[in-house]
Homo-oligomer: A and B are copies of this chain.
Amino acid sequence: MHILVQKYGGSSVKDLKCQRRVLEKVQSAVKKGLKVVVVLSAMSGETNKLLTLAQEWSARPDPAEQDSLVATGEQTSVALFAMLCKDAGLNARSLLGFQIPIRTNSNFNRARILSIDAKKIKAMLKNYDVLVAAGFQGVDDNDQITTLGRGGSDTSAVALAAALKADECEIYTDVDGVYTTDPNMCPMARKIAIIDYDEMLEMASMGAKVLQIRSVEFAKKYRVKIHVRSTFTDTPGTLVTSKEDPRMESVLVSGIAYDKDQVRFTLRSVQDRPGVAASIFTPLSDAGILVDMIIQNTSREGVTDMTFTVSRQDRDRTKEILDKVQHDIGAAEVLFDTRVSKVSVIGVGMRNHAGVAAKAFTALRNENINILMISTSEIKITCLIEDKYTELAVRTLHDAFELDRLGHDG
């Protein structure tokens, strides 16, 4: 029994016409002799509508009740799509989180999957051609409905593919794959045929919002091949797989990502003594604020500057917290700057290749783009720059690594 998992996002199931297109894709897989598990999101806009309703009812909606409310979005799309399947003569039925069941922890609004009853689903696939599973939702040990957080349907699909040892997990969306960079920003952007999990993680976390990050982590852990492709065409998309995959091209750099959602904070003249970093970052972390790039200069005469970035939505709360700790750590000043953005060069190939960083810095310098902060990982070089240069920086780096040329090794 060959099992294919297909996931369709909200824009792919948003109305009857779109669902008919999805049906065609499912039918063609069934005709090939595959058993298909179709994972669906809520119809576009539904989840937001339900969250708005919850906000109308309560300033702080009870998280468990909110999950039960929001889960109706996927319940609606799977019931409707299963009707279409049955009318088309397919042996099909819908499955909700509790019916599969997809067991999660009780961390409502952003639960994590603990287990999936693969044996039950496999037994059902003996009788059914198509199982239409609700994405995004699960149940905890008390049978309370949970949701996996925004974009959680991707994770549902990958987790089902992992549990069922499916041949592949196809993620259908409204773009036709993962690009070397944002095509809206750089017309030379090229669709990537095959990309490594770690590269995809960096692309995703930098705002290339094709796949939910957690689903990629899950796929990496369980070696699930993800095929990201368009509901609206039949062309192949991007295969997300392990770098050991023999089909993987050997490229140094796979893509250029950027993120404009940055604010840089600087604490000036901080006393350089043990525990000072903890005094700053513990209260931020307690407040749920995610700190991104951090730089601490070498101290001079016992004082140092501490610089880091956070998301723009956290600007005011970060300022409040820093104003409180400023005195304790003896900082002279709290400064912030919202006119910054982040560009990154990403590629598993750069692990053993020192020249990539130099090439990136040279390219930016040639365009007189000043680098405000630098951070590097094994597969990524990130520069913080003035945000007015974002577009220029992305295009410059895309050019420098010749990403418009298929298979070139940069």
Contacts and interface: CB of A to CB of B under 8 A. Distances in A.
A86 interface: yes
A94 interface: yes
A99 B144 contact: yes
B75 A94 contact: no
Given A16-B57, A75-B75, A144-B99, A64 B84 contact: no
Contact of A72 (B60, B76, B144): B76
Given A16-B57, A56-B16, A98-B98, A75 B83 contact: no
Contacts of A78: 68
Interface in A58-105: 58-62, 64-66, 68-69, 71-72, 75-76, 78-80, 82-84, 86-87, 93-94, 96, 98-99
A125 interface: no
15 contacts: A53-B80, A54-B79, A57-B83, A62-B87, A65-B80, A65-B82, A68-B75, A68-B78, A68-B94, A69-B76, A69-B79, A72-B72, A72-B76, A75-B75, A98-B143
B66 A83 contact: yes
Main secondary structure of the interface of A (DSSP, over half): helix
Stoichiometry (number of copies): 2
A83 B65 contact: yes
A62 B83 contact: yes
Interface in A339-365: none
Nearest to A96: B68
Nearest to A67: B79
Interface in A318-356: none
